[in-house]
Homo-oligomer: A and B are copies of this chain.
Amino acid sequence: MPSVADSFLGVATPSLLVDRAVVEANCVRMREKAVRSGVSFRPHVKTHKTLEVARMQGGGELGPITVSTLAEAEWFADGGFEDITYAVPIDPQKLRRAATLMRRVRHLNLLLDHPEALAAVEAFHRATGVRFEVFLKVDCGYHRAGVDPDAPASIDLARRMATSPDIEFRGFLTHAGHSYNVRTADEIRALAVQESAAVTRLRDHLGLANAAALIRSVGSTPTASLVESFSDCEEVRPGNYVFYDAFQAAVGACTLEDVGASVLTSVIGVYPQQRKIMLDAGALALSKDLGAEHPGGSPGYGIVCDLDLTPLPFRLVSVSQEHGQAVALEPFDVTGIEIGSRLRIIPNHSCLTAALFEHYVVIENGEVIALWRPVRGW
């Protein structure tokens, strides 16, 4: 078997390497947890944006998926996926495009959290005859989007949705994005309970006869990774877990060995007096996401590793457009590092990093086996 170093000789830098076996293991583990829990599994595809990984998420099937843009929805519909939730509050100006897509798939579920958006979707039905399936976005404490599950206005809006002849009301969708801001597994598990509790409370406030037919959809990668099983919901939607990243490892949602995406980079400068090396992976290869605060101090814009993904004693202190500056931690001496040698970087936030690449270089057992192309844009 060729060594890892040999196998990467022909790969241009910077490149995004995706380890197929690692990604598949992540996909299998999460999907099995959902199956074991008896809940529907509608993984998010925004982290990888590829048909190949979406099929892995579905256990080889073209299963239900969650997307973050209409461009993704269209791309995955082209790839044969037929049950899609567009999990960003709908912009009324995007309804026409969504309607065009809806004719091609079995389900295109939209999301909203405001009476004006509901009015727009209803008016669209009356004007065009296109009747959308719609979820109400619920805020479970993240405070990004979504309605307060206990506010009278939210209950009014939910009731309007449940009784509107102009939409097909599907249920309640929430995302514990605040699980990215806590630091212990116990805190994250507490947020998993919050997620389900929020959608359950709003559902129960309504007191509907058909409550059991409504979906409570939850999911974030930290919460989904750290619970033993899913409960008090009908559907889960994690996404980042396919690749994971330095951030997820820092919060305990995975180990560094579970991270399936890394950036291959070349050393283009060595500056012993500054204890520094220059990498050809900058902000356009890594993003400027600083990730989590780490207990041992931040690694900077990603974790600098050797070709076997063993972390090296560097802090990636700065990224400009095409330069990454990594400073060695004492007592490591950079003098022995050669110009042109190669390293790998575990990204802080794999969603933002992966989106920067035209294709992913897929590896398995140290060999390049494929190129996968992600969809781009909106």
**Cβ–Cβ contact B352 & A13, under 8 A:** no
Interface residue tally for chain A (C-beta within 8 Å): 61
Q: Does A347 contact B (CB under 8 A)?
A: no
Query: In the complex, what distance in Å separates the CA atom of A114 from the CA atom of B338?
Result: 10
Q: State whether B270 touches A352 (Cβ < 8 A).
A: no
A202 to B114, CA, bound (A): 64
Q: Chain A interface secondary structure, helix, strand, loop or mixed?
A: loop
Q: A269-B145, A339-B117, A340-B92 are in contact. Are A378 and B13 (CB under 8 A)?
A: yes
Known A-B contacts A114-B269, A114-B270, A338-B116; A46 and B322 likewise in contact (beta carbons under 8 Å) = yes
Using A177-B320, A321-B46, A339-B116 as known contacts, say yes or no to A89 and B376 having CB atoms under 8 A apart. no
Among A76-84, A183-191, A224-232, A282-290, the one that faces the other chain is A282-290
A361 interface residue (CB < 8 Å to B)? no
**Distance from A242 Cβ to chain B, minimum over Cβ atoms (Å):** 14
A88 to chain B, nearest CB (A): 5
A235 beta carbon closer than 8 Å to chain B: no
Whether B91 pairs with A13 at a CB distance below 8 angstroms is yes
Cα separation A89 to B279 with both chains bound (whole Å): 10
Chain A 113-153 interface mask (CB, 8 Å, partner B; 1/0): 11011001000000000000000000000011100100000
8 A-B pairs with least C-beta separation = A92-B340, A116-B339, A91-B266, A89-B268, A288-B288, A68-B322, A358-B377, A91-B268
